[in-house]
Amino acid sequence: MKYSGIVEDCCCDYETVDSVNAEVLHPLLQEIVKTPFFRYFKAKLWCDCPFWTEDGMCLLRDCSVCDCPENEFPEPFKRPFHRDLPSDSLVCQNDKLQGSVDRTLDSRAFRGWIETDNPWTNDDETDNDEMTYVNLLLNPERYTGYTGLSARRIWDAVYSENCPKYSSQDICQEQRVLYKLISGLHSSISIHIAADYLLDKITNLWGQNMELMHDRVLKYPDRVQNLYFAFLFVLRAVTKAADYLEQAEYDTGNHEEDLRTESLMRQLLYNPKLQAACPLPFDEAKLWKGQSGQQLKQQIQKKFRNISALMDCVGCEKCRLWGKLQVLGLGTALKILFSVDGKNHQDQPLQLQRNEVIALVNLLNRLSESVKRTFNQESSGRRTSC
Protein backbone atom coordinates (compact mmCIF):
# COMPACT_ATOMS: atom_id res chain seq x y z
CA MET A 1 0.00 0.00 0.00
CA LYS A 2 1.32 3.43 -0.91
CA TYR A 3 0.83 6.10 1.73
CA SER A 4 0.35 9.61 0.41
CA GLY A 5 -0.98 12.97 1.53
CA ILE A 6 -0.63 14.65 4.90
CA VAL A 7 0.02 12.42 7.91
CA GLU A 8 -3.14 12.64 10.02
CA ASP A 9 -2.98 15.36 12.72
CA CYS A 10 0.46 16.44 11.48
CA CYS A 11 1.83 19.06 9.12
CA CYS A 12 3.95 16.98 6.70
CA ASP A 13 3.12 14.47 3.98
CA TYR A 14 4.32 10.88 3.77
CA GLU A 15 6.49 11.44 0.70
CA THR A 16 8.37 14.30 2.38
CA VAL A 17 8.84 12.33 5.60
CA ASP A 18 10.26 9.34 3.73
CA SER A 19 12.58 11.51 1.66
CA VAL A 20 13.94 13.65 4.51
CA ASN A 21 14.27 10.64 6.79
CA ALA A 22 16.25 8.63 4.23
CA GLU A 23 18.50 11.51 3.14
CA VAL A 24 19.04 13.38 6.41
CA LEU A 25 17.53 12.12 9.64
CA HIS A 26 18.26 8.41 9.62
CA PRO A 27 21.96 8.70 8.67
CA LEU A 28 22.54 11.42 11.26
CA LEU A 29 20.67 9.67 14.06
CA GLN A 30 22.50 6.41 13.40
CA GLU A 31 25.78 8.24 14.00
CA ILE A 32 24.54 10.19 17.03
CA VAL A 33 23.34 7.18 19.02
CA LYS A 34 26.74 5.52 18.64
CA THR A 35 28.57 8.41 20.34
CA PRO A 36 29.77 7.92 23.93
CA PHE A 37 27.19 10.38 25.26
CA PHE A 38 24.11 8.81 23.68
CA ARG A 39 24.97 5.13 23.86
CA TYR A 40 24.59 4.86 27.65
CA PHE A 41 21.27 4.96 29.45
CA LYS A 42 20.65 4.96 33.18
CA ALA A 43 17.76 2.76 34.28
CA LYS A 44 16.19 1.14 37.29
CA LEU A 45 15.82 -2.40 35.99
CA TRP A 46 14.96 -4.28 39.18
CA CYS A 47 11.60 -2.97 40.33
CA ASP A 48 8.50 -4.75 41.59
CA CYS A 49 5.45 -4.44 39.39
CA PRO A 50 3.01 -2.07 41.16
CA PHE A 51 -0.05 -3.69 39.57
CA TRP A 52 0.40 -7.47 39.76
CA THR A 53 2.87 -10.22 40.60
CA GLU A 54 5.06 -10.59 37.55
CA ASP A 55 6.30 -14.09 36.70
CA GLY A 56 7.14 -13.57 33.04
CA MET A 57 10.04 -15.60 31.72
CA CYS A 58 12.18 -15.19 28.63
CA LEU A 59 13.21 -18.06 26.41
CA LEU A 60 16.66 -16.73 25.50
CA ARG A 61 19.76 -15.48 27.25
CA ASP A 62 19.35 -12.46 24.94
CA CYS A 63 16.65 -11.29 27.33
CA SER A 64 19.21 -10.36 29.98
CA VAL A 65 20.92 -6.98 30.09
CA CYS A 66 24.67 -6.42 30.25
CA ASP A 67 25.13 -3.40 32.49
CA CYS A 68 28.27 -1.26 32.75
CA PRO A 69 30.74 -1.61 35.64
CA GLU A 70 31.23 1.72 37.39
CA ASN A 71 34.86 2.05 36.29
CA GLU A 72 33.92 1.92 32.61
CA PHE A 73 31.94 5.14 32.21
CA PRO A 74 33.47 8.62 32.55
CA GLU A 75 33.65 10.87 35.56
CA PRO A 76 31.15 13.52 34.28
CA PHE A 77 28.35 10.94 34.56
CA LYS A 78 29.20 10.28 38.20
CA ARG A 79 28.88 13.85 39.41
CA PRO A 80 25.79 14.59 41.50
CA PHE A 81 22.97 16.60 39.94
CA HIS A 82 21.89 19.98 41.29
CA ARG A 83 18.28 20.59 42.23
CA ASP A 84 17.91 23.84 40.29
CA LEU A 85 21.09 24.48 38.31
CA PRO A 86 24.06 22.62 36.87
CA SER A 87 25.66 19.24 36.85
CA ASP A 88 26.92 16.89 34.17
CA SER A 89 27.94 13.14 31.55
CA LEU A 90 30.64 7.43 29.29
CA VAL A 91 32.77 4.89 27.75
CA CYS A 92 31.82 1.36 28.63
CA GLN A 93 33.38 -1.62 26.90
CA ASN A 94 31.87 -5.04 27.52
CA ASP A 95 32.08 -8.21 25.53
CA LYS A 96 29.19 -8.04 23.11
CA LEU A 97 26.18 -10.06 24.18
CA GLN A 98 23.29 -11.31 22.54
CA GLY A 99 -3.96 26.82 28.14
CA SER A 100 -2.47 28.04 24.82
CA VAL A 101 0.82 26.53 23.91
CA ASP A 102 3.49 28.76 22.44
CA ARG A 103 5.72 27.16 19.83
CA THR A 104 8.96 28.69 21.07
CA LEU A 105 11.13 27.97 24.07
CA ASP A 106 13.05 30.29 26.33
CA SER A 107 16.16 31.48 24.50
CA ARG A 108 18.17 31.16 27.72
CA ALA A 109 18.00 27.44 27.03
CA PHE A 110 20.52 25.09 28.63
CA ARG A 111 21.66 25.79 32.21
CA GLY A 112 23.38 22.56 33.07
CA TRP A 113 22.16 19.03 33.72
CA ILE A 114 19.79 19.01 36.67
CA GLU A 115 17.71 16.71 38.81
CA THR A 116 14.15 17.61 37.88
CA ASP A 117 10.78 15.88 37.81
CA ASN A 118 8.95 15.01 34.62
CA PRO A 119 5.19 15.37 35.18
CA TRP A 120 4.52 12.85 32.43
CA THR A 121 6.52 9.87 33.72
CA ASN A 122 6.52 7.64 36.77
CA ASP A 123 10.27 7.18 37.29
CA ASP A 124 12.13 10.16 38.69
CA GLU A 125 15.37 8.74 37.22
CA THR A 126 17.45 10.52 39.85
CA ASP A 127 20.86 9.27 40.93
CA ASN A 128 20.59 6.49 43.49
CA ASP A 129 21.98 3.04 44.19
CA GLU A 130 19.13 1.31 42.35
CA MET A 131 20.08 2.83 38.99
CA THR A 132 22.54 1.21 36.62
CA TYR A 133 24.16 2.36 33.39
CA VAL A 134 23.58 0.24 30.30
CA ASN A 135 25.43 0.31 27.00
CA LEU A 136 22.62 0.33 24.46
CA LEU A 137 24.88 -0.83 21.64
CA LEU A 138 25.57 -4.03 23.58
CA ASN A 139 21.88 -4.50 24.40
CA PRO A 140 20.05 -3.93 21.10
CA GLU A 141 16.30 -3.92 20.76
CA ARG A 142 15.53 -7.26 19.16
CA TYR A 143 13.64 -10.54 19.54
CA THR A 144 14.12 -12.04 23.01
CA GLY A 145 11.55 -14.84 23.16
CA TYR A 146 9.39 -12.79 25.53
CA THR A 147 5.89 -13.90 24.56
CA GLY A 148 2.68 -15.29 25.98
CA LEU A 149 0.44 -14.07 28.79
CA SER A 150 3.00 -11.82 30.46
CA ALA A 151 3.75 -9.87 27.27
CA ARG A 152 0.08 -9.65 26.24
CA ARG A 153 -0.92 -8.44 29.70
CA ILE A 154 1.35 -5.39 29.37
CA TRP A 155 -0.14 -4.19 26.10
CA ASP A 156 -3.69 -5.07 27.21
CA ALA A 157 -3.22 -2.88 30.29
CA VAL A 158 -1.72 -0.06 28.24
CA TYR A 159 -4.59 0.03 25.76
CA SER A 160 -7.63 -0.98 27.81
CA GLU A 161 -6.91 1.03 30.95
CA ASN A 162 -4.89 3.99 29.77
CA CYS A 163 -5.52 4.80 26.12
CA PRO A 164 -8.54 2.92 24.76
CA LYS A 165 -8.82 2.97 20.98
CA TYR A 166 -10.87 5.91 19.79
CA SER A 167 -14.00 4.64 18.06
CA SER A 168 -16.02 7.79 17.52
CA GLN A 169 -15.58 11.36 16.37
CA ASP A 170 -16.64 12.54 19.83
CA ILE A 171 -13.26 11.82 21.34
CA CYS A 172 -11.10 14.91 21.67
CA GLN A 173 -7.89 15.39 19.70
CA GLU A 174 -5.77 15.25 22.86
CA GLN A 175 -6.99 11.75 23.73
CA ARG A 176 -6.48 10.67 20.14
CA VAL A 177 -2.89 11.91 20.30
CA LEU A 178 -2.13 9.70 23.31
CA TYR A 179 -3.56 6.63 21.62
CA LYS A 180 -1.68 7.28 18.39
CA LEU A 181 1.62 7.82 20.22
CA ILE A 182 1.32 4.49 22.03
CA SER A 183 0.13 2.68 18.90
CA GLY A 184 3.00 4.18 16.90
CA LEU A 185 5.51 3.14 19.54
CA HIS A 186 3.98 -0.37 19.59
CA SER A 187 4.36 -0.57 15.81
CA SER A 188 7.99 0.51 16.02
CA ILE A 189 8.82 -2.06 18.69
CA SER A 190 7.17 -4.81 16.62
CA ILE A 191 9.18 -3.79 13.56
CA HIS A 192 12.46 -3.94 15.49
CA ILE A 193 11.62 -7.37 16.89
CA ALA A 194 10.85 -8.66 13.40
CA ALA A 195 13.94 -6.99 11.89
CA ASP A 196 16.33 -8.80 14.24
CA TYR A 197 14.71 -12.18 14.82
CA LEU A 198 16.01 -15.61 15.77
CA LEU A 199 15.07 -17.57 12.66
CA ASP A 200 16.71 -20.87 13.66
CA LYS A 201 17.51 -21.74 17.28
CA ILE A 202 19.66 -24.74 16.38
CA THR A 203 22.03 -22.83 14.11
CA ASN A 204 21.55 -19.51 15.95
CA LEU A 205 20.57 -17.87 12.65
CA TRP A 206 19.33 -14.28 13.02
CA GLY A 207 17.67 -12.18 10.34
CA GLN A 208 14.49 -10.45 9.25
CA ASN A 209 11.14 -12.09 9.86
CA MET A 210 9.13 -10.36 7.15
CA GLU A 211 6.01 -12.43 7.77
CA LEU A 212 5.93 -11.26 11.39
CA MET A 213 6.52 -7.64 10.39
CA HIS A 214 3.65 -7.83 7.92
CA ASP A 215 1.26 -9.62 10.28
CA ARG A 216 1.90 -7.27 13.21
CA VAL A 217 2.23 -3.91 11.44
CA LEU A 218 2.35 -3.58 7.67
CA LYS A 219 -1.05 -5.06 6.87
CA TYR A 220 -2.73 -2.57 9.23
CA PRO A 221 -2.78 0.95 7.67
CA ASP A 222 -3.68 2.61 10.98
CA ARG A 223 -0.61 1.11 12.68
CA VAL A 224 1.66 2.42 9.93
CA GLN A 225 -0.03 5.82 10.05
CA ASN A 226 0.41 5.98 13.82
CA LEU A 227 4.10 5.11 13.44
CA TYR A 228 4.57 8.12 11.17
CA PHE A 229 2.57 10.27 13.59
CA ALA A 230 4.74 9.27 16.56
CA PHE A 231 7.89 9.95 14.51
CA LEU A 232 6.74 13.47 13.58
CA PHE A 233 5.57 14.20 17.12
CA VAL A 234 8.96 13.32 18.61
CA LEU A 235 10.77 15.13 15.79
CA ARG A 236 8.77 18.26 16.60
CA ALA A 237 9.83 18.04 20.26
CA VAL A 238 13.49 17.78 19.25
CA THR A 239 13.30 20.73 16.85
CA LYS A 240 11.35 22.84 19.35
CA ALA A 241 14.07 22.28 21.95
CA ALA A 242 16.82 23.05 19.42
CA ASP A 243 18.38 25.95 21.35
CA TYR A 244 18.51 23.90 24.53
CA LEU A 245 19.90 20.81 22.82
CA GLU A 246 22.51 22.80 20.90
CA GLN A 247 23.82 24.39 24.10
CA ALA A 248 23.72 21.19 26.16
CA GLU A 249 26.94 19.79 27.58
CA TYR A 250 27.72 16.51 25.82
CA ASP A 251 30.59 15.89 28.18
CA THR A 252 32.00 12.38 28.52
CA GLY A 253 35.62 13.30 29.15
CA ASN A 254 36.54 12.36 25.59
CA HIS A 255 37.08 15.81 24.07
CA GLU A 256 37.33 14.68 20.45
CA GLU A 257 34.18 12.55 20.63
CA ASP A 258 32.31 15.25 22.53
CA LEU A 259 33.07 17.83 19.82
CA ARG A 260 31.86 15.35 17.22
CA THR A 261 28.64 14.82 19.17
CA GLU A 262 28.05 18.57 19.34
CA SER A 263 28.62 18.85 15.58
CA LEU A 264 26.24 15.98 14.79
CA MET A 265 23.55 17.49 17.01
CA ARG A 266 23.83 20.87 15.27
CA GLN A 267 23.48 19.12 11.91
CA LEU A 268 20.33 17.42 13.19
CA LEU A 269 18.78 20.47 14.83
CA TYR A 270 19.42 23.01 12.09
CA ASN A 271 19.42 20.93 8.94
CA PRO A 272 18.36 23.13 6.01
CA LYS A 273 16.72 20.25 4.12
CA LEU A 274 14.56 19.40 7.11
CA GLN A 275 13.69 23.04 7.78
CA ALA A 276 12.71 23.58 4.15
CA ALA A 277 10.75 20.35 3.70
CA CYS A 278 9.01 20.02 7.07
CA PRO A 279 9.49 23.14 9.23
CA LEU A 280 6.65 22.23 11.62
CA PRO A 281 6.22 18.44 11.87
CA PHE A 282 3.40 18.73 14.44
CA ASP A 283 1.45 21.77 15.65
CA GLU A 284 1.08 21.47 19.42
CA ALA A 285 -0.57 24.90 19.67
CA LYS A 286 -3.86 23.36 18.56
CA LEU A 287 -4.24 21.39 21.78
CA TRP A 288 -5.49 22.13 25.32
CA LYS A 289 -7.91 24.81 24.16
CA GLY A 290 -10.96 25.92 26.11
CA GLN A 291 -11.81 26.09 29.80
CA SER A 292 -11.23 22.39 30.42
CA GLY A 293 -7.83 22.32 28.72
CA GLN A 294 -5.74 22.21 31.90
CA GLN A 295 -7.95 19.58 33.52
CA LEU A 296 -7.75 17.43 30.38
CA LYS A 297 -3.97 17.74 30.36
CA GLN A 298 -3.81 16.49 33.94
CA GLN A 299 -6.04 13.53 33.09
CA ILE A 300 -3.86 12.51 30.14
CA GLN A 301 -0.70 13.05 32.20
CA LYS A 302 -2.06 10.59 34.74
CA LYS A 303 -2.77 8.04 32.01
CA PHE A 304 0.74 8.36 30.61
CA ARG A 305 2.27 8.06 34.09
CA ASN A 306 0.36 4.79 34.48
CA ILE A 307 1.83 3.60 31.18
CA SER A 308 5.27 4.58 32.45
CA ALA A 309 4.72 2.61 35.66
CA LEU A 310 3.65 -0.45 33.65
CA MET A 311 7.18 -0.74 32.31
CA ASP A 312 8.18 -2.15 35.72
CA CYS A 313 5.84 -5.06 34.98
CA VAL A 314 7.66 -6.19 31.84
CA GLY A 315 9.02 -9.65 32.61
CA CYS A 316 11.95 -9.53 30.18
CA GLU A 317 14.91 -7.45 31.34
CA LYS A 318 15.99 -6.25 27.89
CA CYS A 319 12.38 -5.52 26.91
CA ARG A 320 12.01 -3.57 30.15
CA LEU A 321 15.14 -1.57 29.34
CA TRP A 322 13.89 -0.51 25.92
CA GLY A 323 10.36 -0.01 27.20
CA LYS A 324 11.59 2.34 29.91
CA LEU A 325 13.87 4.22 27.52
CA GLN A 326 11.24 4.75 24.85
CA VAL A 327 8.43 5.63 27.24
CA LEU A 328 10.77 8.13 28.93
CA GLY A 329 11.59 9.47 25.46
CA LEU A 330 7.89 9.95 24.74
CA GLY A 331 7.39 11.52 28.16
CA THR A 332 10.23 13.93 27.42
CA ALA A 333 8.64 14.87 24.10
CA LEU A 334 5.33 15.49 25.90
CA LYS A 335 7.16 17.57 28.50
CA ILE A 336 8.83 19.73 25.85
CA LEU A 337 5.67 20.30 23.84
CA PHE A 338 3.07 20.62 26.60
CA SER A 339 4.72 21.47 29.91
CA VAL A 340 6.85 24.45 28.87
CA ASP A 341 5.58 27.70 27.41
CA GLY A 342 8.55 29.94 26.73
CA LYS A 343 6.53 33.09 26.13
CA ASN A 344 4.06 32.93 29.01
CA HIS A 345 6.18 31.33 31.71
CA GLN A 346 9.61 32.91 31.56
CA ASP A 347 10.24 31.84 35.15
CA GLN A 348 9.84 28.18 34.11
CA PRO A 349 12.31 27.56 31.28
CA LEU A 350 12.82 24.12 29.82
CA GLN A 351 14.90 21.91 32.10
CA LEU A 352 15.82 18.36 31.17
CA GLN A 353 17.73 15.58 32.83
CA ARG A 354 20.63 14.15 30.89
CA ASN A 355 18.82 10.81 30.83
CA GLU A 356 15.75 12.44 29.26
CA VAL A 357 17.82 13.80 26.38
CA ILE A 358 19.49 10.42 25.85
CA ALA A 359 16.06 8.72 25.82
CA LEU A 360 14.53 11.34 23.50
CA VAL A 361 17.23 11.08 20.85
CA ASN A 362 17.40 7.28 21.00
CA LEU A 363 13.62 7.10 20.65
CA LEU A 364 13.74 9.38 17.60
CA ASN A 365 16.35 7.06 16.11
CA ARG A 366 14.23 3.97 16.79
CA LEU A 367 11.20 5.58 15.13
CA SER A 368 13.32 6.83 12.22
CA GLU A 369 14.63 3.32 11.62
CA SER A 370 11.12 1.86 11.74
CA VAL A 371 9.84 4.45 9.27
CA LYS A 372 12.73 3.64 6.94
CA ARG A 373 12.10 -0.11 7.16
CA THR A 374 8.39 0.44 6.54
CA PHE A 375 9.07 2.59 3.49
CA ASN A 376 11.57 0.07 2.12
CA GLN A 377 9.14 -2.82 2.54
CA GLU A 378 6.24 -0.92 1.02
CA SER A 379 8.44 0.12 -1.93
CA SER A 380 9.68 -3.44 -2.36
CA GLY A 381 6.12 -4.74 -2.29
CA ARG A 382 5.04 -2.29 -4.99
CA ARG A 383 7.97 -3.24 -7.24
CA THR A 384 7.19 -6.94 -6.76
CA SER A 385 3.51 -6.47 -7.63
CA CYS A 386 4.47 -4.70 -10.86
Q: Which listed residue (63, 163, 313, 316) is catalytic?
A: 316
CB 48 within 8 A of CB 312: yes
- Flag whether 155 is marked binding: yes
C-alpha separations of 236 from 14, 118, 213, 271, 275 in Å = 15, 18, 27, 13, 11
- Flag whether 320 is marked binding: no
Please give the Cα distance from 315 to 295 (Å, whole number).
Answer: 34
- Flag whether 216 is marked binding: yes
Interior CA angle at 328 toward 3 and 162, to 5°?
75
- Flag whether 186 is marked binding: yes
Please give the Cα distance from 290 to 174 (Å, whole number).
Answer: 12
Active-site residue flag, 316: yes
Strands 205-207 and 40-43: unpaired
Active-site residue flag, 319: yes
- Flag whether 142 is marked binding: yes
CB 91 within 8 A of CB 121: no
Q: Which listed residue (49, 68, 92, 319) is catalytic?
A: 319
Q: How many CA atoms lie within 13 A of 81 on its CB side?
A: 20
Please give the Cα distance from 56 to 314 (Å, whole number).
Answer: 7
- Flag whether 87 is marked binding: no
Known binding positions for FAD: 142, 144, 155, 183, 186, 216
Known binding positions: 142, 144, 155, 183, 186, 216
Residues annotated as catalytic are 316, 319
